[in-house]
Amino acid sequence: MKALVWNGTLATVTTTHPIPDLPPDYLLIQTIAVALNPTDAKAIAQGRASPNNGLLGSDFAGIVQEVGPLIRKPFRVGDRVCGVTHGGNSAKPQDGAFAEYIVAKGDTCIRIPDHMGFEEAATIGVSAITDGQGMFQAMGLALPAIDGQVQRKEEFLLVYGGSSSTGTLAIQFGKLAGYTVLTTCNPKNFALVKSRGAEMAFDYNDPTCGQQIHDYTHGQLKLIFDTIGNNTTGIQICEAAFSKSPTCRYGTLLLNDFSPQRRPDVVVSSSVLMTFRGEAFDLFGRHFPASNEDFEFASMFAGITERLLEDRLLVPHPVVLGDGGLRGVVDGLELVRDGKVSGGKLVYRVADT
């Protein structure tokens, strides 16, 4: 089959990659569309994938071909699904989304509603599970209302980096959970984030951004979810935006710290996406043991996301459709790496390869 793999030196498209074996708790999926994420570009830059033609890529949408016997959810052959794979997994070369046929952890997959195309659905998986882990599992925010009956809370929530795919979904999840959502982004994306439910957007390039947010909230902002996670300027903005109250919570991605010297009172939580499968792996020089808790949460939150998509309560990130299928992905990842994709998510159709 056709696949985008890491050969130890560079990412290249092969036409002879074997179809992966099916673990008992996985789905075998014919991939129709894939979407690009910063983590995919980083996997290549850092050479994280197996040098033995390890598969790359995380976000996918496709059609179920086979259902592993240990999957608990009632998936069927022919179901349209989207979700996440652990692309660039050095220990398991068959993990990855950028191929004609892939395997994905079954109970964390999401059925695609009839009204949604594969291209839109391909943008969902990474962002939805990342938001679920970061906002609701790690930070402990109230879960989104799946029936649309939102219980308003008298609390502000700042989504830092709201115009990314993770950000636009985070804004929607936060609003559906009843929070008054504010965000930061480039002014050219203000209309996008407000269309997704942000009450107010602030320019993170403005040196007074943090103080503006602090003033807007009358010093009452106690919840921040940082979708960027490794931006020093962003952390400084968040520090300035926070209430002076000792009950503030800051959720972030990966492993960065929130300046404990200046705000040791802030409760900091972080998440690493790939723990969602409940399987051990190594990343960034660290060992992450298997976490059944993370798997169970991801399975539950995938169900919430599926319901919200079905009822049109959750809108996918704008699609930027690329040319060339898997061959086009290589150039697309360079655009992602260089920060040249904003307000949309690059998506490629595998059949165009």
Rounded to an integer, what is the distance from CA 135 to the centroid of its chain? 12
More confident call, 284 vs 126: 126
Residue range(s) of every CATH 3.90.180.10 domain in the chain: 3-126+274-352
Residue range(s) of every CATH 3.40.50.720 domain in the chain: 139-270
Q: 3-126+274-352, which class in CATH?
A: alpha beta
Q: What is the mean pLDDT of residues 234-243?
A: 92
Q: What is the mean pLDDT of residues 175-204?
A: 98
Per the rule left: phi > 0, alpha: psi between -120 and 50, beta: everything else, 34 is beta
CB contact set of 324 (below 8 Å; sequence gap of 6+): 331, 348, 352, 353
Q: 139-270, which class in CATH?
A: alpha beta
Q: What is the mean pLDDT of residues 232-240?
A: 88
pLDDT in tens, 13-52: 999 999 999 999 999 999 999 999 999 998 888 888 777 8
Number of neighbours of residue 144 by Cβ within 10 angstroms? 25
Q: What is the mean pLDDT of residues 240-252?
A: 93
Q: What is the mean pLDDT of residues 211-216?
A: 98
pLDDT in tens, 65-97: 999 999 999 999 999 999 999 999 988 999 999
Q: How confident is the model at residue 9 (pLDDT cuts 50, 70, 90)?
A: confident
């349209």: which residue's tokens?
80
> According to the model, what pLDDT value does residue 259 have?
60
Per the rule left: phi > 0, alpha: psi between -120 and 50, beta: everything else, 78 is left
> According to the model, what pLDDT value does residue 155 have?
97
Q: How confident is the model at residue 256 (pLDDT cuts 50, 70, 90)?
A: low
Question: Would you say residue 261 has pLDDT above 70?
Answer: no
Q: How confident is the model at residue 275 (pLDDT cuts 50, 70, 90)?
A: very high
Question: Would you say residue 297 has pLDDT above 60?
Answer: yes
